[in-house]
Amino acid sequence: MRLLVREVETVIANILPKSFGIIFDGWTFRSEHYVAVFASFCHDGKTHNILIAMAPIIDDEVDDHTASSHVKFLDTILSYYGHIKASIVYIMGDNCSVNCAVADQLKVPMVGCARHRLNLAVNLLLADDDDLLEKLRPVLRQDTRWSSTYAMVEMYFELKEYLDNDDDDELTVFMPTRREEKQLKSILKNLKMFESTSKKLQSTDEITLLDVRDLFVDSTET
């Protein structure tokens, strides 16, 4: 297995250009923090994203998830491919403070994940409607993903025609008022637009930063 790993590292090392971008994301599983790292570069007019690591950020029991530990982790990973952190020309990841600090330490641009920015903006937009949305709970709402709210509101209107035929007064107490329903329709209309934007950001077609800007401008002007 070690020989296979070494062979794969050699193949990737021969593919990597002198400089490239780094795309990375982290998640925690059973108190262990893992990081997936991709090297991103252009070749023959096409963008290539190659996985170069998916491992715990630390190998000991020290709980250190700071920007410095991420930079050290990246430098160690790149050494396996004959590169150093100076090979990195930009960082791409979630728009969190640690990632921004990593870019600052490396002195390279930070390209924040456009879909993550959209997620933050939509959650902020929905904050004023929390009390109303709490009335609709057939689908569990997730604090970090507005798409669960979209599914919840959409489901309400799919079920509404059946609920309207129910004369049960006990059920009526829990139903949104006409004014609240009008507000929910407005929320659903906005979320459908954001859902469309989100899908375009996830498109397999290559999307440039200019494309992202245009999508965001269209979303705010609609």
CA-to-CA dists, residue 26 to 41, 54, 70, 111, 183, angstroms: 21, 9, 10, 16, 37
pLDDT at residue number 20 = 95
Class of domain 2-112: alpha beta
**pLDDT band of 168, cuts 50, 70, 90:** low
DSSP state of 176: P
Q: Which residues of 138-147 are buried (b: 16+ CB within 10 A; e: fewer)?
A: eeebeeeebe
What span, in angstroms and rounded, lies between the C-alpha atoms of 162 and 103? 53
Average pLDDT for residues 190-202, to the nearest whole number? 81
User: What's the CA gap between 169 and 94, in Å, rounded?
Assistant: 47
Would you list the domain boundaries of the chain?
Answer: 2-112, 115-221
Return the pLDDT at 221. 67
CA-wise closest residue to 123 among 71, 190, 172, 212: 190
Q: What percentage of the chain carries pLDDT values higher than 90?
A: 23
Please give the pLDDT value at position 103: 94
pTM for the whole structure:
0.66
State pLDDT tens for residues 99-122: 899 999 999 999 988 888 888 888
Task: Produce one character per residue of 26-41: b if its CB has 16 or more CB atoms within 10 Å, e if not.
Answer: beeeeeeeebebbbbb
